[in-house]
Amino acid sequence: MNRTYWPTAAWHEAPPESVGVDPAGLAALDHEIEAGYRSINGIVVVARGCLVYERYGAGFGPDDAHDVASVTKSVTSALVGIAIAQGHIEGVRQKVLDFFPEVAPQPQEALKRAMTIEHLLTMTAGLYWRTGARAYEPLLERMWRSPDWVASILSLPVLERAYGTFQYNSACSHLLSALLTRATGQSARAFANEHLFAPLGMAEAGPAPCPPAPQHSAAGPAGQRGSASCGPDWPEDPQGISTGGWGLALRPRDMARFGYLYLNRGQWDGAQIVPEDWVEASLAPHTPGYGYQWWLRDLDGLSAYSAIGRGGHHIFCVPDRDLVVAIASKPAGRWRDRWSLLEEYIIPSVSA
């Protein structure tokens, strides 16, 4: 795609019809959100590089950041790709325990010794874990209560029946953050500020304390921390490891910037921020519907992918429509599916 500008300093705003978007469709979207999606605190629609629709609720505005829950996982994945390109990490086939020499598996734990970075990225590591409805992870709270999260994760057995099979597991994502720190000497937050957020014009993420137990707190991965005027931040575990699987707080416009980076195959204003081959690998179905910490879906012949967080946070990307949609939501144990907004209102409004 030939880009005439990059939204590093600011998004270009344009009348929808000027970039092939039907204003009536966006009006219908607005009505639908008002009628049935009151938990959406912010939504940004970017078509052909221009911001064509933006809406905020509950007292929030464009300068307010939201804890985007497991959208964090897709950012962590990007950082691993950048670290590989910089030579800090050998590649996705490198063994996880290479980064944790203090861990000495028992002789019978051959699968734990064989576990690779790619197993973590694709959530096929086989670590003992339980996942319930809406990706509820009861063992995540046990990890949170431990004094050393990484040691707690690495003490889990690897199950032969689960090894190589997808199971949603936020502990895998936290291990990615930990090995990134071991490899680069920087926290994921510091590494992202320097090598990802700054080049894109995203607001720098500040430090934040160890987050509350994620499944039972409104300040956990289901929504924003604090009230309006909350700035971007990224919490860390007791050892100072940025939470790899949840907790990053972003502004909706910056969420859209991150999606726009992937829409442009990792390239930004003449610089390759995330390697193109990493973007391709991340968006390939390593297991059905899942890449490297990205969710994949076919929408009536249109390929789409999304970073998704509990509570209704999304960064949707639809390459064939040159479209990015970012949604930030309030904390919720149950929430209405956001894919329907994309399928029924947004995509039909954007010309091919």
Handedness of CA 293, 200, 33, 21 (dihedral sign): negative
The 10s digit of each residue's pLDDT in 41-53 is 999 999 999 999 9
The predicted pLDDT at position 214 comes to 56
Asked if pLDDT for residue 223 goes beyond 70, the answer is no
DSSP string, 109-151: -HHHHH-BHHHHHTT-S-BS----GGG--HHHHHHHHSS-HHH
Backbone phi, psi, residue 329, to 5°: -130, 165
The 10s digit of each residue's pLDDT in 58-99 is 999 999 999 999 999 999 999 999 999 999 999 999 999 999
Domain 18-352: state its class.
alpha beta
Share of the chain above pLDDT 70, in %: 93
Average pLDDT for 249-274: 98
Q: How far apart (Å, rounded) are the C-alpha atoms in residues 204 and 187?
A: 13
DSSP string, 218-244: TTSTTS-SSSTTPPPEEEB-TTS-B-S
11: helix, strand or coil? coil
Asked if pLDDT for residue 7 goes beyond 70, the answer is yes
Averaged confidence pLDDT in the chain: 92
The predicted pLDDT at position 337 comes to 92
Tell whether pTM > 0.85: yes
Of 209, 244, 198, 291, which is closest to residue 69 (Cα–Cα)? 244
The residue extents of the domains of the chain are 18-352
Average pLDDT for 265-279: 98
The 10s digit of each residue's pLDDT in 277-326 is 999 999 999 999 999 999 999 998 999 999 999 999 999 999 999 999 99
Average pLDDT for 18-29: 98
In Å, how far are 23, 165, 200, 340 from 46, measured between CA atoms?
Answer: 13, 35, 15, 17
